[in-house]
Structure 1
Amino acid sequence: MKQFHLDVNQFLNTDIDLLEINNWEQLQEIKNGFVNYNNNYYMITDGLLKQATLIDNSVEFHVAAHALYEYSVVLVAEHDEIKGYLSVNEMLPQLVHHYQTLLSYFTTITKTSEASVTVINDKREVILWTEGAERIFSLPHEKIQGDDITNHFEEDKLAVTDALYRGQTLQQSHHLPRKNVFVLINTSPVYVNGKIVGAVASETDITSQVKLNRELMQASERIHRLEQNLQTLQPSDDPFREIKGQSPPLEHTKRMIEKLRYTDVSVLILGESGVGKELFAKAIHETRETKDSPFIAINCGAIPNALFESELFGYERGAFSGADQKGKKGKFELARNGTLFLDEIAEMPLDMQVKLLRVLQDKKYFAVGGSLEIQANFRVIAATNRDLDQLVEEGLFREDLYYRLNVVNLTIPPLRERKEDIVQLVHHFLYELSVRYHKPIPDLSPQFMNALLKHNWKGNVRELRNALERLVVFSNDGEAFMEDLPFLAKQESVPMNNESNGQPQTLQASMDLHERQLLIEALKRSDSNKQRCATDLGISRATLYNKLQKHNLE
């Protein structure tokens, strides 16, 4: 923006020849030019003498302009050497051109930008109303331009007038200027010579995000209520009933969860996207809480930054512009005597990390806009698919919060490391999805199952379920087709060992071969140390020896 600032030098006329005059007779003989007569400066035009003054070229432009009010001409010097002069007659056309240039840039910027920008003067009259503002508020500029803004909005809901009257500045503030219109707003007063002459507001429409977030929260609460109702009807008290599989890595994870039964320590669940971290969080919750204890899940990556504090802490009525008059309980309160599950914890903004840490340390907090201290009584489980150690090193995640959450950590194994669970997962999902779509359960051939076992499943259990859902949807009278899963159809239909001689393998043979391969890899990782190998696989040493003997790997 430097090119738009007025500078003395850009208006300077350097065509000047200053004469040094010592007596009055010489001065009278000069018809045109600039003279220095006894340290007084004059401009002579057609014999007419006009007094001038001298300024330095480093002064602010308004100083030079003020000098031109008193003198017809202003001489400009640099380090006591006169470089040129300023005159009103020569500057006026240049100032007009400068103004026209500024106006052209300003007009083009406001037309090009999609942002909502509102500018009012000291009389609250709207002097700028961009197309972005028209879209958000469905109000054409012809109806509001030049009019008092309070004729179109309730004054107590106008943040821009607070900037005008009180000099208040807002940055990314959650605001409700009209019913059912949510925005993030920035406001600033406009100062001229220390006096407020207007105000500017810039708004970003977040109405759809707020409504979607509310719907997601409501849906989450409804699902939780249904789950609780379902649990009261189910006789099973097994906290792992929703976790399918019996592979050694999975059984090892279950045993670790069982050890948390009589504790209230914070737990950090690590694992790739799609491994089912929330299922394991619920298993931890059910392991150490009563049936009536709430399990409140919140996805930190799905909440706009401006809504984070009110979602966690809740707010009192009138806490901010547009707040629900009844107030709202936050997730801390909803999780009282239960578990708060913070999914995608790495996505939590740094300022909220500080506030969360304070709650976990002090066990108390205040609702937004509240004055009553609330006791925090909940257990915390956090989850992420990102490397928190790396984020801490990069300054993107607070180290003190990391240690507070990472009292116990569980790493959920990816599906490719527990492929023996795929068979049970497939049968479970096929049954569930067939019931949902009112279709016969597809009968998968050994070759089909073999292809599922060979696939890498980068998206883990979620990817497997989505693939099977597609399979059920396109199945025909209980018959599934490999071409409905293109990533499987591309796999070569070759035997998985050399003993099949081109004959189709049975499911048991495929599973045995996969188990043998897992044992080989585990032995390599442990340098054939049987105790370490058994620990890595989550099985006893005796079980390991039995399996090694079975596969001739002793």
Structure 2
Amino acid sequence: MLFDYNEILVKKVMNKDYIVLNIRNTVNEAIKLMLKNNIQDVFIEDLNHNVKGVITLSDVANIYDEINQEILLKKYIRTNMISVDKNKTLYQCRSIMIENNIGRLPVLEKGNLIGVIRQAEIRDYFYMDLERISKTLNHIVESIHEALCLIDTKGKVIIWNKNAAELYDIPQKDIVGKNIKDFFPDSINSKVLESKERITNVYHSPKKNYKVIINALPIYINGKFEGVLTTDRDVTEVTSLSKKLEKANSNLKFLEGEFKKLKNNYFDNIIGRSTKIIEKIKIAKQVSKSDISVLISGESGTGKELFAKNIHDYSGGKGSFIPVNCSAIPNELFESEFFGYDEGAFTGANKKGKVGFFELANNGTLFLDEIAELPLYMQAKLLRVLQDNTFTRVGGTEVINSKVRIISATNANLAEMVDEGKFRKDLFYRLNVIEIKLPPLRERENDIVLLTYHFLNELAEKNNRDVPKISPEVLDIFKKYNWNGNIRELRNVVEHTLVLCTDNVINKDRLPSHILKFVKEKEHDFIKTESTFDLNKSISNLEKKIIIEALKNTKGNKAKAAKLLNIPRSTLHYKLDSYEIVNF
């Protein structure tokens, strides 16, 4: 702890070596005692032993002509003699001495002298404590891990600890007291000495295989510039460990990627074996390895977000996948949500500001679902960001770089919206570099059964239920239903039947009434439009319809269609001629 006048009390440091004489004693007697005891003052008390005055060697010099006379000390009694008590502080004593131009203060207790505070006591105590502090500070300076250098306003080196000596191979005895420029002409110390501005976190290599970070700080005492202190922190080991860690992380990421490839789990969460969905997965994998924009179109509930997430994961990008539902954001909040805002950007804003979707998705993927709901003014702003890869926060001025891949999705016809002036043509072309149009569930009849069993197992586990059986009649109804809500609707229906199932079999009576009604009307319409009482004609009409559907499903490939119909290829060609089926 540093020396503090305000904390040191008189009673701890007062001198008890003093001389007291009576008012009846002479000046000559006082002088003899001062010379004999090597003391420069004698205190004078009255007949009641109360200290009333003091005579010093300085006083004697002023009355040199009267020394041979028998002058009594009574002459030096003062009615206003200044004294202190033992509980005063050294700071108070010092102030009293300076203010009254005196060199000593008697310490009185109930009028009696118990000690003396002289300038020497204050000075000696100060130097004694200063020496102790100096030793402590020197120990601290030498124990600090960093290399320290302190220079004064002339550039002279005041402190150069042992770590600095070892780091720069310059012994303390060779540099302390010398100008820093003699050793380092372009040192940071000298720059701060001129600018009086701090410099922080500067990387430097003082010698081979050494890396340090330097910080330089101007020193001010009571507002006055007194010098510059620099600290050099050795980060050689930390840098080495950081490089090793970075390499280990890279290796780990590579191995994780290879493991995922071996496991082949990408797109496995997309359930389906139909030709149409397999084709879409193949396209999605191809576009994943590039950073081009992808537009995923299709009816609601066909799995557009699931496709987008798989494209992001399969690409192996470092950044995050940030999904955004454009239809759920109020118009007035679009800009602040997409680009974020700075502190105090508008009334009600978060005091710390907010990070927008583009910053969150940096180096990753921003999935814009329901892109058709994006207002025209935001379409223009989005286009500018995609062109420049930069933006600024609302209420901010800093230009932020953004490297983001855009995958958008819609169930609307964007081309028609462009023609109607509801969607920007330039943004449409920017987003629609590759379009993946997902088929509705009604066009994936064979996948309906797969998805049904998948959801049944998933939801049974979620609800801690045994997996029930599902009747063939129910599966047949599922195949005939149109599924306007697609995969999302199928999942909800499976959950509905699971909750209502009281035994271990899901039967027709557990299905929602609107599904049963739709299938019944569909069968009635089919009988009404396709069937007659002529059984042979009805069978022919049905056979023709099935062959056409098979050819559509295989895109006109007759060999695949024959295999799908489970008939010989020659039989298929015969029936095509019989029913006059052409254009395939």
* Structure-2-length-normalised TM-score: 0.47
Q: Which is greater in Rg?
A: 2
* Structure-1-length-normalised TM-score: 0.50
